[in-house]
Structures are given as structure tokens and as C-alpha cells.
Chains A and B, each alone.
Chain A
Amino acid sequence: MGQQVLNGIFLGSIYALFAVGYTLVFGVLDILNLAHQAVFMLAAFIALALVADAHLSLWVALPAAVLAGGAIGIVLERVAFRPLRGRADSNISGLISSLAMATVFEAIALQIFGPDISRFPPGTFPDRVVRIGAATASLLQLCIVGISVVLMAVLTLLLARSRLGRQIRAVAESPRAARILGIDVDRAIAMAFFLSSALGGAAGVLFGLAFNSISPDVGRGVELKGLAVIILGGMGSVPGAVIAGFALGLIEVFTVAHLGSSFRDAVSFAVLFFVLIARPRGLFGRAAAREA
């Protein structure tokens, strides 16, 4: 029981970290960035290349891959979203162009890294097991949970306290009003993409380390979970995504252990369905947004 809770928290921390970035972009732009999973995958591969081919320490490769993820996010915003902004149907066309970018990113990864499952070389992370009561966790798992929680806390603080955070929140509220107040809206949006993709990238590296198998399609399964998490948490709500991420991780682990792996997604989405019936805006969704 205790072990399964630990497994759930561990899985949930990665889901939460992935979903936090996902929901941030949605909160600012009202657009689902379907290329988020591709950034997740690319960052994992970048970290792998830095560790396996450039023989860097993981503690150098991890931040480097996270920054690279953020940079990919800025490119993504420039190529897939900015040219479409201001058009009447930019929500749908943005969705489609992000899907196209996801395909492009996957094709690039396929070309460079091949279709097979790639793995971190043995000994990338010390193989140590830690006892917590009757349960055991590897040092890696504890670090993953720790890193996720720290990154999510940093994001929350950044949004609440910093100048950049205020700007991003102002743009989320109303881009037009923000512009009138002298905020560089394009820059704020680009920064939101940077933060979102850096967190997505961090989730990718941690996922790759945790399960030690990375392939160009590794992000697809997580994307669907991430979507469930941000809907469950209330679209655009960062604390909602964190809580829903952990909840989904726990639900999944207990479903697999007690009902069988075939029900892994069925139960997660059934929970989503019933939550939406009870609370159509998700657990932490704001009241209906004002439409200007």
C-alpha cells in the first residue's frame, strides 16, 4: 500500500510537471499547444545525447536540456503561433499548426536518433535504494519528485511575485488592456512559451531517466494524460494542474495494481468524465471568463 502510494506520487510528479507547462500556455493564449509532447521528447533526447555522446555529467545535461526545451518553445511560438495571432480563427489554426510542429519535431528525432528505444548509459545516476518505512524508493525517484516540486514552486512564485509573472497574468486577462498599459505582449507570450517548454522539457528528461526508455513517440501517451490533467485541474490553473497531476498518478497506479493494466486509461478518463459532470470547469477552474 505504502509502496503503491509512493509509485503514484512518483508518476504523478512527472504528469504534474508536464501539465503545468501545458496549462500555462493555455491560460495565456487559450490555445492548446499540441507540440508540448514533442518538446518533452526532444529535451529527453538532448539530455541523452549530452550524457551518452558528449560524456557530460547529468547535472550539466539536465539544466542544458531544460534550457534547450525553453529555446525550442520560443521557436515554436515564432513559427507556429505568432504568424496566426490576431486572426479570427487563431484558436483552431494554432491548434493545427502546433500539431504540424509536433510532427516535424518527431520526424527530426526519428532522423537523428532512429525509431528504436534509446537509453541512458548505465551508471548515469547512482543506483541507490532508500527505505521509507516499509516501502522502498530509488534515490533517482526521490530526486525526480524533489526536482518537480521545486520547479513547480518556482513557477508559482514567478507568476505571483515577479514583474514577468505580472505581465504574463495581465496578458492572460486581456491582451488588449495589457498592451494599453505598456506591456510588450509579444515578449510576454514568448516568455510564457519559454517557461512552459522548459518545464515540459524537464518533465521529458526526468521521464527518460525514470523509465530509461526514450523513443520519438514517447510523448504521445503523456500528452493524453497531460490533457486529462489540465482539464481535471481547470484549464489554465497552475495549482489545479499540480493537484490533478498527482491525483491522476495515484489513480493510475492503483488501477493497474487492482484492476489490471487494460483499465489504466479507462479509469483515469472515467474520473475526468464524472468530475466534469459535477464541476464543468474542472477542480480549480475560474468562473466563466469575461468575453470582451
Chain B
Amino acid sequence: MSLARRWSFSLLLLLAAACKDQGSEAPASGGGATIGAALSLTGAAASYGALQRAGIQAGVEQVTGGGGPKLNVLIEDDASTKEQGITVFQKFINRDRVSAILGPTLSNTASAADPLAQQAKVPVLAISNTAPTGITDIGNYIWRDSLTEAQVIPGAFKKAQEKLKFKTAGVLYGNDDVFTKAGYDVMQKALADLAIKVLGTQTFAKPDRDYNAQLTALIGLKPDVLVVSALADNASSIVAQARQRGWTGPILGGNGFNSPAFIKNAGAAAEGVMVGTSWNSLSQDPANQKFLEAMKKGGVNPDQFSAQAYTGVIILAEAIKQAEGKTGREDIVAGLAKVKDLDTPLGKFSFTPGRDAQHEPSVQQVKDGKFQIVQ
């Protein structure tokens, strides 16, 4: 070992020791509960992450303003990737020693990062993961407040079918992402249950920009509706290109369409697109009105993702309350199990025995450049 190398090695050891020290001090400085939030602030899902951050911040203000437990939320960017998601989780678990984690934004990231939390026995409350499998079944420390595609899509499709009376469908989905693939599986089953004939199925990958080949093939089959499972960025391009290819019929989307960014980017092409949603923006419940007011104050146009993020904070506060103010990791897990019929912007909220969310879904349609709830 050369001298330089020995030096750098001992430097590294020193650095490691310094990091460790910092880690064990962090929780003492905070007081109350330290919560980590892993959100996609950059990358493919950045349009969701920004709104989730706004929702969490509004939620924290709501809780502390209402005399609830003190919450110190650390927000980190998972960059919409598994790798960065794992890095952020390791930081939260080992360095910041958080009581619980909110996020990560994408199911894809959660499938890779959540097992770390399960192993370290740190509770995770997912606020936007909608893949039906592979999230909460990771283990008893993983919870979620977002309805799965499997809970939202069948109801949404049934309602859309009653309104539009379609009999055949062409399907397009992203096959390189856990979330869009899972959405496709649910859609396929929902279509089969409604006895809708699928005339053709096409795929794309997240980095694709050109969907003309797939859309031409699908439109050529003359289906009654197009069914698309995609994230918002891909979704807006797909819808715009479908309209350019001359498609004037209805388009049914998955949860990825549930973002104001989708409408903004697709423009006029988005008109008439129907999506299932777990948040009814028109709900007159006091909890929802309070949420809308908080978002309006922050100058943010709320969506389902901000509502679920806000609800995530409310649920953690309730869990701490149920645990008589204790903020240990096990205390929060015990508290979460006792959350029942909690008033949230999503409606009366409870957990299923499988730690998934339980509340009523709705359907919305783009009209005049806005999502409007279909009654």
C-alpha cells in the first residue's frame, strides 16, 4: 500500500466516523417525530413530486396548527429511479433515523426501496403507489393511503361503459415500468369482466417519444375506445399523437393521467379523456374543504396526488395520537393499525387488513381543459 493510498484510506475512515456521529445526533435535535419523504422531484415523475411536496407541506401546517404532534419532515428527491430511491431510503433509515417514511412516488421505486425499510423495521406510508401487488405485500411495515389500480379501474371502466356504451377496445401500455404494466393487467381484467372485446394491444417504453406506429396499428382496427396505461409525460404525448392520427373517439386512462400536467401538456387533445380517481375534488366534506383552502393559500392547483400526500401526513399524525404521542417506529406501526374512519380529503379513511387504503373512488373526465367529476 503506497503512502498516498494509506492516507486516503485513513481519511475515508475518518469521514465514515464523522458521518456516523452526525447520524446518531440528528433525532435529538428535532423533537417530535422526524419523518422522511422520498418524492420524485426530478425525472419522469417530477410532475407528481412537486404537487406531493405541496400536499405534505400543507398537511404539516394543518397538523401543527391544529395542535397535533410536532412533525419534522425531511424531503429528498428520489429522481424517479430505483437507485436514487434506495440511496434516499438508506439516508433516512441510517443517518436521519426517521420515525417513518412517506413515499416514494413511483411503485417502481417502492418495489426496490421498501424492502430496506421492512428489513430495518421502519414504517413506510406510501402516498401514491398504485401497483396492486408488490408494495404492501413486502411486509408488515409497509402501508399505503393510495387506492390501487385494482381498486379504482374496474369501477371507473364500468361507469365509463354505462355512459359511452363501447363494445371494443384498443389497448396501449408501457411495458418497462411496474406501475404501467400493473395498470395494464388490471385494465385487461376489467375489460374482460365487462365483456369488452380487445381488438389489439400495443406497447411502448418510458423513453419513447414517437407512438405513431403503435397508434396507427390500433386505430386501423377501428375500436370503440382507446385504453392507455401510461405515466403523465408519456400520456400527454400519446393523446396528442392519437388526435393527430385522426382519433376522435374516447380515451380511457389509468392513474398516470391524474395530473394537471397531463392536461396542460396535451392541450385540446385531452378533451374527453376519462380517468378513475381516488379523490373527488368536488366533495363538500369539511376535511376536503380545509385541504382545498390550504392549497389555495399556497397558490397550488391541487390534484389527487397532493390530496393523497396531505392525507399521508394527517394519517401519521393520527397514528402518533393513537400511540399516545410516542414517536418510536414500533409505536407508529401500532398506531397505524388503529386508524379507522378518519376524516380526510379522500373521504372516510381506513386500512384494509392487508394495510392498503380503503375509501370510495370516483370517475372524472376532461372538460374545457379541466378534470370534472362524472356524477
Contact = CB atoms under 8 A, between A and B. Distances in A.
A and B: bona fide binding partners: yes
Interface of A: 3-4, 7-8, 10-11, 114-117, 119, 122, 127, 129, 136, 138, 207, 210-213, 218, 221, 252-254, 256-258, 260-262, 264
A102 to B, nearest CB: 17
Given A210-B210, A212-B237, A262-B175, 13 more contacts: A3-B245, A4-B213, A4-B216, A7-B213, A11-B212, A116-B47, A119-B265, A207-B209, A211-B241, A254-B213, A257-B213, A257-B217, A264-B208
B233 interface: yes
A261 B208 CA distance: 9
A258 B268 CA distance: 30
B46 A11 contact: no
20 contacts: A3-B216, A3-B220, A3-B245, A11-B212, A115-B43, A115-B46, A117-B233, A119-B265, A122-B267, A210-B210, A212-B240, A252-B213, A254-B213, A257-B214, A260-B203, A261-B175, A261-B204, A261-B205, A262-B175, A264-B208
A117 B265 CA distance: 10
Interface of B: 42-43, 46-47, 175-176, 202-205, 207-210, 212-214, 216-217, 220, 233, 237, 240-241, 244-246, 265, 267-268
Contacts, number: 74
Nearest to A1: B220
Contact of A116 (B46, B207, B208, B212): B46
A221 B175 contact: no
A5 to B, nearest CB: 10
A184 B329 CA distance: 73
Contacts of B205: 261-262, 264
Contact of A213 (B43, B209, B213): B209
Contact of B237 (A211, A254, A260): A211
B203 A4 contact: no
B257 to A, nearest CB: 16
Contacts of B207: 221
A262 B244 contact: no
A207 B265 CA distance: 17
The interface centre, meaning the residue of A117, A254, A258 with most chain B CB atoms within 10 A of its CB, is A117
Contact of B217 (A4, A116, A221): A4
Contacts of B240: 212
Nearest to A122: B267
Nearest to A222: B209
B181 to A, nearest CB: 12
A205 to B, nearest CB: 14
Contacts of B267: 122
Nearest to A118: B265
A117 B237 CA distance: 11
A264 B211 CA distance: 12
B233 A213 contact: yes
A252 B212 CA distance: 11
Contacts of A213: 209, 233, 237
Contacts of A8: 213
The interface centre, meaning the residue of B42, B216, B246 with most chain A CB atoms within 10 A of its CB, is B216
A211 B220 contact: no
A136 B241 CA distance: 12
Contacts of A261: 175, 202-205, 208, 214
B209 to A, nearest CB: 4
A138 B220 CA distance: 17
B209 A129 contact: no
A253 B209 CA distance: 13
The interface centre, meaning the residue of A138, A210, A257, A258 with most chain B CB atoms within 10 A of its CB, is A257
A260 B202 contact: yes
B105 to A, nearest CB: 14
B278 to A, nearest CB: 25
B209 A256 contact: no
Contact of B212 (A122, A218, A253, A262): A253
B216 A262 contact: no
Nearest to B175: A262
The interface centre, meaning the residue of A115, A138, A252, A261 with most chain B CB atoms within 10 A of its CB, is A261
A106 to B, nearest CB: 14
Given A115-B42, A261-B203, A256 B214 contact: yes
A111 to B, nearest CB: 13
A115 to B, nearest CB: 4
A138 B213 contact: no
B340 to A, nearest CB: 39
